[in-house]
Structure 1
Amino acid sequence: MTISRFIASAVLLLTSAHLHAFEFKTVGANAVVLYDAPSTKGGKLFVAPRGMPVQVVLTYGDWAKVRDASGDMAWLEQRSLSVRRNVVVRNINAKVRSAPDDGAPLLMTADKGVILELVDPQPSSWIRVRHRDGISGYIKMADVWGI
């Protein structure tokens, strides 16, 4: 009887975890300190720059546990997050094109670590982005993190 309860609980847990989609947000208007615990008394890990995309893994009161593009996890106050969506380039020399096609004219090349605003959050093999200089175009989804 206990084995069947264990199996049922495990299936339920896996199913519910599978249905929960992680939410991506962006560090708001100001840089924010990331901590190792959900408290300002926790150890300070690093400072996240404004506009940095993060994946919200867990919320606890006024705090959110987030993952960055490198996979590191830390805590920050939820009020420091924005619903505005940004992505970060994860490949060297990622190409932003005028249309979602490898043959479309090249608008710019973005280096690894460049933050781009997500213009159209509908995921496909290409996404529409905008650079802070105003250049707007399409980049391969495989070249960015945050969606």
Structure 2
Amino acid sequence: MWNFVRAVMLALLVPLAAAAIAQDAPEPRLGAVTNLPLPRFVTLKTSEGNARRGPGLTHRIDWVFTRDGMPLLITAEYGHWRRVEDAEGVGGWMHYALLSGSRSALITADMADLHDSPSEDSTVVLRAQKDVVATLLQCTANWCRLRLAGERGWVLKSQIWGVGKDEILE
């Protein structure tokens, strides 16, 4: 009898436990306007872009980004406006026309070595100082390939900002 009761309880509890686990798994967050993943990286496509306190021209300008090609992180969407942050977490709401889906990376290491292949044993083809912006071409689990000053090279992902920790780009 007890075996029967245990079997019935187990049969009832397993689906409930599976449903509870499924509810705890985070849903991928998508932008309400674009249906693209949030957060996601983009690039400033102008030499100047105002970051406002809220999504609209009537809101006060809190910050002005002045680096064409600078990577930014979109964290929210509202109509034609995107909430963005830079590598330091500074940002605000910007009109989508100021942003590009092309990708760039900001060097965060004091000095980053760009290699000819994704290996620390490979030849260094270029060295980049902190805060240099480069075009992001490709990323593996630990390395990203950049284009900078007409050269291409691989840098450790931990030395740049503008790509997700687990993001792979082909």
Q: TM-score, normalised by structure 2?
A: 0.72
- 1:14 Cα deviation after fit: 6.8
- Work out the CA distance in 1 between the residues paired with 2:127 and 2:73: 25
- Work out the CA distance in 1 between the residues paired with 2:64 and 2:90: 13
- Work out the CA distance in 1 between the residues paired with 2:107 and 2:57: 30
Note if 1:135 corresponds to 2:116. no
| Runs of 4+ in structure 1 over 4 Å off | 11-14
Q: Which amino acid in structure 1 is aligned with residue 162 of structure 2?
A: G
Q: TM-score, normalised by structure 1?
A: 0.83
- 1:36 Cα deviation after fit: 1.5
Cα root mean square deviation, aligned:
1.9
Which residue in 2 is equivalent to 1:74? 92
- Work out the CA distance in 1 between the residues paired with 2:57 and 2:70: 20
Gaps of 5+ in 1: 1-7
Which residue in 2 is equivalent to 1:126? 143
Higher RCO (CA < 8 A, seq sep 6+) = 1
- Work out the CA distance in 2 between the residues paired with 1:52 and 1:82: 10
For residues 31-66 of structure 1, the C-alpha deviation after alignment (integer angstroms, 9 at most, x for no partner) is: 211112112222212221211111110000010001
Which residue in 2 is equivalent to 1:51? 69
Which residue in 1 is equivalent to 2:45? 28
Which shows bigger deviation, 37-46 or 54-63?
37-46
Structure with bigger gyration radius: 2
Q: Which amino acid in structure 1 is aligned with residue 77 of structure 2?
A: T
8 Å Cα contact 2:110-2:129 kept in structure 1: yes
